[in-house]
Amino acid sequence: MSNNMNLTLKVWRQKNAKAKGELVSYQADHVSPDMSFLEMLDVVNEGLIKKGDDPIHFDHDCREGICGSCSLHINGRPHGPKQGITTCQLHMRSFNDKDTIVIEPWRAEGFPVIKDLATDRSAFDRIQVAGGFISVNTGGAPDANVIPIPKVVADEAFNSATCIGCGACVAACKNASAMLFVSAKVSQLALLPQGQPERYRRVQAMVAQMDAEGFGSCTNTGACEAECPKEISITNIARMNRDYFTAKLLNSEE
């Protein structure tokens, strides 16, 4: 007896950022529970193409939970019903036969829709460009490794650096805040000696760019941390706020 599932998909279809979008129903039949969510969409798209219809547009790249491209809102949750995984790591065994699955793009002013489920997340790139760099010359790897860094600090910096910039934190936040993403990128450098020369200039520049991109304010509900596929801690937000206010204080004393 087959364990394959028959599903109803309600997929957001939208031609571009200015066009009016709507949910369109599709049948996904004979879906193997061992398929990934994106593989299921691939099969649905093959059927649409065979019929001469426009396939569903969505972002993907590595399909290994590394790149952060697979930004889908599934049944009201970024990346779907499981914690600590991206959409490409979600398998159809997480759903049941005859389920209805609602699939939408990220909803945020800073992430305008390109088409259907694909959104423009280049705002994150511009935030990183604003301050996510260091100007010290560390030399080769052996030279950098001679700088003593306590293991607890190195681990904390590494945990912050695991952020893949997928935008799930923004999608989960009722204010569409990007504070978790920005604070992770600020923290990974602020914790290390190589990041100290620009530390306070960096945090001001990145926060200013975040605000310019139209992201909302943080009200500490913790939804970002709960939905982050890499489980980035909101401790980073507290650290970024301290650095930001320290930078303002130092500027006022100059």
Task: Return the pLDDT at 143.
Answer: 67
Domain boundaries, the chain: 5-115, 121-253
Query: Which pLDDT score is estimated for 35?
Result: 97
CA neighbours within 13 Å on the CB side: how many for 164?
21
pLDDT tens by residue, 125-136: 999 999 988 887
Pick 121-253's CATH classification: 3.40.50.920, 1.10.1060.10, 1.20.120.420, 3.40.50.300.
1.10.1060.10
Q: Write out pLDDT tens, residues 168-181.
A: 999 999 999 999 99
pLDDT of residue 252: 77
The predicted pLDDT at position 128 comes to 95
Q: Specify the pLDDT at position 147.
A: 78
pLDDT surpasses 80 at 55: yes
pTM of the model: 0.92
Q: Which residue has the higher pLDDT, 252 or 50?
A: 50
pLDDT digits (tens, 9 = 90+) for 189-213: 999 988 999 999 999 999 999 999 9
At residue 58 the predicted structure's pLDDT band, cuts being 50, 70 and 90, is: very high
Do 85 and 230 contact (CB within 8 A), yes or no? no
- Give Cα separations from 123 to 7, 110, 119, 144, 211 (angstroms): 34, 6, 11, 31, 10
pLDDT for the residue numbered 216: 96
Helices and strands, number each (H, E), in the chain:
9, 7
Q: If residue 55 lies in a helix (H) or strand (E), which one and from where to where?
A: none
Confidence class of residue 1 from pLDDT cuts 50, 70 and 90?
very low
- Predicted confidence at residue 11, as pLDDT, reads 98
Q: Is the separation of the CB atoms in 118 and 61 below 8 Å?
A: no
Quickly name the fold that domain 5-115 has: Ubiquitin-like (UB roll) (3.10.20)
Residue 57, number of CB atoms within 10 A of its CB: 16
DSSP-assigned beta bridge partners for residue 104: 73
